[in-house]
Amino acid sequence: MNKSLSVIVPCFNEEEVITESYKRIKSILNQFDFRTEIIFINDGSTDKTQEILYNILESDNSVKLITFSRNFGHQKAVTAGINHCTSDLAIIIDADLQDPPELIPEMIRTMETSHAQVVYCVRKSRKGEGFFKKITAKLFYRFLNFLSEVRLPVDTGDFRLIDKSIIREFNNLHEKGKYIRGLISWVGFKQVPFYYEREARFAGETKYPFMKMLRFATTSMLYFSTKPLRIATTLGFTSVLVALALAIWSILGKIIGFTHADSGWTSLFVLIIFFGGVQLLTIGIVGSYIGNLFDEIKNRPEYIILKKENFESNIEDEKNKSR
Ligand code: UDP
Ligand code: MG
């Protein structure tokens, strides 16, 4: 089988690690007898990353480089890498060697033996990361999975192997806020886990300060769930029901005399809870429309076909061929 592999490496101010990552990735790629390449994306680094990458490029013409005009963020860098990938297989890997490149051959074997389109790496443990990062990451992935309409595997990063059907479908997604690991799950096909120990960063510091982490978490939740919007509807509906029940209770109480409210209290009380409920319900309804609008704007395909049988003229296949 004629295979080819691209290794996609996003880099932001990685002068301390980039030479070592290149060496380690390259020595793995040298073992393969098919075409391989490394695509580095320099995401607006302000240190010597670009210079080092130019040196690597000079000595190795299987290395490609995409340089951003400024720092657009990790997810945009990986997106650019996938958009520019023409191989049959792609590995997404961090530059800091937290994801060991030595696992690549085994990941490819796993893909072959399980006939999968995605091999996603699940972190059994995370070395060299603080308590805060570990606990927030653990909670975050579980909460996100609860919110999300598609099942998102927990404790996974973007470190994964994807094949060309995934690359093709990913490149068909046009939403601007991309939560890549979520979108790859969303695309479907056969996806299998691969367990590994996440290493400590080889050198340098994390490029994900708290604010960036927060933005990343917000994007993933907003783009993968409209549940928060719909919660208002449920709350509003419940409040209106409770208001009606309380209204009946307090009016009857007033007439029969089992409540001893001051005059005016009953009507005020009933009106307040009723209109509170009505407002929440209305916000919820508006929210549902906004949720649907958001889904429409994201313009994800409505479905992805794995295969079709017994069709004479296969329009989808023609389209795929020309892509
Ligand atoms: N990265 C990037 N742009 C950014 C932040 C990070 O391209 O704005 C890259 C970074 O160089 C690394 C990967 O994304 O290759 C993961 O970042 P990092 O290791 O700092 O994150 P952490 O592992 O601490 O979550
Ligand atoms: Mg890292």
Closest ligand 1 atom, residue 11 Cα:
11
Going from the C-alpha of 179 to that of each of 68, 120, 163, 228, the distances in angstroms are 19, 15, 18, 18
Give pLDDT, residue 273: 79
Give pLDDT, residue 86: 93
Residues 6+ apart with CB under 8 A from 265: none
Sign of CA dihedral 302, 303, 304, 310: negative
Give pLDDT, residue 318: 54
Token look-up 């000079």 returns: 58
C-alpha 119 to ligand 2 mean position (Å): 19
Give pLDDT, residue 36: 95
Residue pair 243/274 in contact (Cβ under 8 Å)? The answer is yes
Give pLDDT, residue 16: 93
Q: What is the CA radius of gyration of the chain?
A: 26
Sign of CA dihedral 245, 248, 254, 255: negative
- State whether 261 and 164 are in the same domain: no
Residues 6+ apart with CB under 8 A from 242: 273, 277
Give pLDDT, residue 203: 83
- State whether 271 and 292 are in the same domain: yes
| Candidate from 208, 211, 212, 215 with most ligand 1 atoms within 8 A of CB, to mutate | 208
- State whether 166 and 129 are in the same domain: yes
Closest ligand 1 atom, residue 206 Cα:
20
- State whether 204 and 274 are in the same domain: no
Residues 6+ apart with CB under 8 A from 120: 153, 156, 159, 160, 181, 184, 191, 192, 193, 194
- The C-alpha angle 244, 245, 248, rounded to 5 degrees, equals 85
- State whether 31 and 51 are in the same domain: yes
DSSP-assigned states of every residue in 269-313: HHHHHHHHHHHHHHHHHHHHHHHHHHHHHHT--S---S---S-SS
Residues 6+ apart with CB under 8 A from 199: 97, 98, 99, 100, 127, 128
- State whether 235 and 155 are in the same domain: no
Give pLDDT, residue 65: 95
CATH number of the domain where residue 150 is located: 3.90.550.10
15 close to ligand 1 (CB < 6 Angstrom): no
Q: How many domains does the chain have?
A: 2
State residue 118 phi and psi, 5-degree precision. Answer: -135, 135
Residue 202 CA to residue 12 CA, distance in Å, equals 14
Ligand nearest to the CA of 9: 1
Q: Which of 264, 272, 273, 202 is nearest to 235 (CA)?
A: 273
What is the C-alpha end-to-end distance of the chain, expressed in Å? 22
In terms of residue numbers, what domain contains 116?
4-225+302-322
Written as six digits, the tokens of 93 are 């890997």
Segments of the chain scoring below 50 in pLDDT: 323
- State whether 163 and 239 are in the same domain: no
- State whether 80 and 158 are in the same domain: yes
Q: What number of residues does the chain have?
A: 323
| Candidate from 9, 11, 12, 219 with most ligand 1 atoms within 8 A of CB, to mutate | 12
| pTM score of the predicted model | 0.80
- State whether 123 and 218 are in the same domain: yes
Give pLDDT, residue 107: 96
Ligand nearest to the CA of 21: 1
Give pLDDT, residue 314: 55
99 close to ligand 1 (CB < 6 Angstrom): no
- State whether 55 and 183 are in the same domain: yes
Give pLDDT, residue 149: 81
